[in-house]
């Protein structure tokens, strides 16, 4: 998918647009999307959410295409990704609670926890020097499932799918990290 964004990234670079500007715009657009969800318009919220998710791919493509990828940019991107997900999940919790659907509202919280764990396990693994991008429910997949679920009237189903797949992905990543850390830090005593 990134390859398809390369011509657009080159155009943005020519126009003087920076990866961090794209990251910030994506987060702002997600907040607008969450506003539509709170107002009860899931279709518009879903369409805008997918657009914002597309910007999340574009910022990295732009950074690599312009040679401006940095630890600072990665930190801003990851942080705003969590803000964006939190805003959308918060909006969906409100949406379900306002419609007296407590089980669905509670499942949004479970899906949020799974989503955060997927991101956290990757970040922590990378801090330990272990590559850990495996898994079924990466950020792009989560955005797509949730956005399409809202557009097609399956928001509750999408949330349940995300709760399960995010938990599964977190377990996959934990397993990957534990295998990567298999060598003991301290030699066992004989």
Token couple for 97: 């609670």
57-95 residue pLDDT tens: 888 888 888 888 899 998 999 999 999 999 999 999 999
Segment 129-188, tens digit of pLDDT? 888 888 889 888 999 999 999 999 999 999 999 999 999 999 999 998 998 888 666 454
pLDDT given for residue 184 in this prediction: 64
CB 19 within 8 A of CB 68: yes
Q: Look up the pTM and report it.
A: 0.88
Answer yes or no: 41 catalytic: no
CA–CA dist 13, 70 (Å, integer): 16
Among candidate residues 83, 95, 94, 108, the one with its CA nearest the CA of residue 30: 83
- In this structure, are residues 155 and 101 in contact, taking their beta carbons and an 8 Å threshold? no
Q: Which of 56, 81, 100, 185 is catalytic?
A: 81
Q: What share of the chain is helix, strand, coil (3-state, %, to 5)?
A: 80, 0, 20
């Amino acid at each position: 998918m990134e390859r398809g964004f390369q011509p657009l990234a080159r155009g943005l670079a020519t126009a003087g647009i920076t990866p961090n500007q794209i990251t910030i715009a994506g987060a702002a657009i997600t907040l607008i999307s969450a506003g539509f969800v709170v107002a009860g318009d899931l279709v518009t919220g879903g369409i805008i959410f997918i657009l914002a998710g597309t910007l999340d791919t574009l910022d990295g493509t732009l950074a690599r295409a312009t040679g401006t990828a940095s630890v600072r940019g990665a930190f801003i991107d990851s942080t705003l990704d969590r803000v964006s997900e939190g805003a959308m999940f918060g909006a969906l919790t409100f949406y379900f609670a306002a419609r007296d659907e407590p089980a669905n509202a509670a499942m949004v919280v479970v899906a949020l926890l799974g989503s955060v764990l997927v991101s956290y396990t990757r970040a922590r693994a990378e801090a330990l020097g272990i590559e850990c991008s495996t898994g079924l429910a990466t950020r792009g997949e989560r955005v797509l499932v949730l956005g399409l679920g809202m557009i097609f009237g399956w928001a509750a189903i999408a949330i349940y799918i995300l709760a399960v797949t995010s938990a599964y992905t977190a377990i996959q990543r934990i397993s990957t990290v534990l295998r990567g850390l298999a060598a003991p830090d301290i030699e066992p005593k004989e």
